[in-house]
Amino acid sequence: MVTTIDRFANMLDLLANDVLRSLEDVPEELLNAEVAVPEANSLFAIATHLLASSRVWTLGAVGGQTLERDRDAEFAATGTIEDLRVDYGTWLSAMHEVLDGLPDSELARSTGYAPYRDDLFDAEPGVEVMTVAHALVHCIDHMAIHLGHIQVTRDTLLAGRD
């Protein structure tokens, strides 16, 4: 029987693989290129930030693992598509170790993490800590938003290169 947590894990897989497919044919110099838009980040930096955040929500919040994170360094990161393939593959394997077989009864379990947005207190009274469900929904939402950023940034960088 497919569980809700299985569906969350499947969506995380799909989004991670969409990120990698979106970057597959991007020349390395564009993968790390600065974007001439205020507050914009390179494709590699966005993908690195997305990976770090996803690790926090799945392995840290849901899995209870202690993780170190340097958020500022994520936005300065450079590398290759192969680096991303390896790092995303490592995270996906670890994510499945945490989620596969986890019963849906865990969805209501408190993660001990504070809400990622202060307005959650207003939108959902009584939310003082994130549940497993909150953490997974946030992770999927965050991945989808940044996948869109990657796709728009990629298209902008590749425009006119013919």
Number of domains in the chain: 1
51-63: average pLDDT: 97
- Nearest CA to 143 among 8, 2, 1? 8
**pTM value?**
0.91
Q: Which ranges of 24-131 does DSSP label H, i.e. alpha helix?
A: 28-31, 43-55, 71-74, 81-99, 120-123
Q: Is 110 helix (H, G, I), strand (E, B) or coil?
A: strand
Characterize 49-85 residue by residue with b for buried, 16 or more Cβ atoms within 10 angstroms of its Cβ, and e for exposed: bbbbbbbbbbbbbbbeeeeeeeeeebeebebebeebe
d(CA 42, CA 59): 25
The per-residue pLDDT for 119 is: 58
Sign, CA dihedral 116-119-124-125, equals positive
The per-residue pLDDT for 126 is: 58
84-104: average pLDDT: 98
Checking if the pLDDT of 121 tops 80, the result is no
More confident call, 128 vs 7: 7
What is the domain range of residue 29? 4-158
Checking if the pLDDT of 123 tops 60, the result is no
109-128: average pLDDT: 69
pLDDT band at residue 120 using 50, 70 and 90 as cut-offs = low
The per-residue pLDDT for 125 is: 53
52-72: average pLDDT: 96
What is the C-alpha end-to-end distance of the chain, expressed in Å? 49
Residue 130's CATH number: 1.20.120.450
The per-residue pLDDT for 116 is: 66
